[in-house]
């Protein structure tokens, strides 16, 4: 099953309407996205809690890493660069942090507030190699901008 991004975006927009609490919004997005596609094994947010530091936020799936410095892993690369990271094979990513041994591929998107400030990253892991596409990146980025871009 591949995500119907326009429908998913509409559902999330409806659920998030009027909400201004970032954690509540993260919980809603993580849940809806996680259950939208069988490829998504772990879906969640890491929040910027201090300069150069990400801490676990709302997620769906098994346990996640509790803290990730910007200097480490795929999440750190997204936080540092402000760009979407798509990794087809996590074992080939030199600095991958293995929070779960079942993860084979990953997509991480930076999450920005209205003022352009990085508030976190949105991380999706798959137990399938090469699970993520540019279409996933575009669809997810649009959802994140619509939900968090007004904060």
The pTM of this model reads 0.95
| 103 or 133, which is more confident | 133
* For residue 1, pLDDT beyond 70: no
* For residue 124, pLDDT beyond 90: yes
pLDDT tens digits for range 59-87: 999 988 999 999 999 999 999 999 999 99
Return the structure tokens found at 82: 């402000």
* For residue 33, pLDDT beyond 90: yes
Distances (CA, A) of 71 to 31, 102, 105, 129, 145: 28, 23, 19, 24, 24
pLDDT band at 2 (very low <50, low <70, confident <90, very high): confident
Fold classified for 5-148: Beta-Lactamase (3.30.450)
């Amino acid at each position: 099953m591949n995500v119907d991004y326009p429908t998913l975006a509409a559902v999330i927009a409806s659920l998030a309407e009027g909400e201004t609490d970032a954690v509540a919004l993260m919980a809603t997005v993580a849940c809806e996205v996680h259950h939208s596609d069988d490829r998504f094994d772990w879906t969640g947010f890491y929040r910027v809690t201090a300069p150069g530091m990400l801490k676990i936020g709302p997620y769906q799936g098994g346990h996640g890493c509790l803290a990730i410095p910007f200097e480490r892993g795929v999440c750190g690369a997204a936080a540092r660069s402000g760009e979407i990271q798509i990794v087809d094979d996590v074992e080939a990513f030199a600095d991958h942090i293995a929070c779960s041994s079942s993860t084979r591929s990953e997509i991480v998107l930076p999450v920005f507030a209205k003022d352009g400030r990085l508030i976190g990253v949105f991380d999706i892991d798959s137990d399938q190699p090469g699970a993520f596409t540019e279409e996933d990146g575009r669809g997810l980025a649009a959802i994140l901008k619509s939900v968090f871009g007004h904060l």
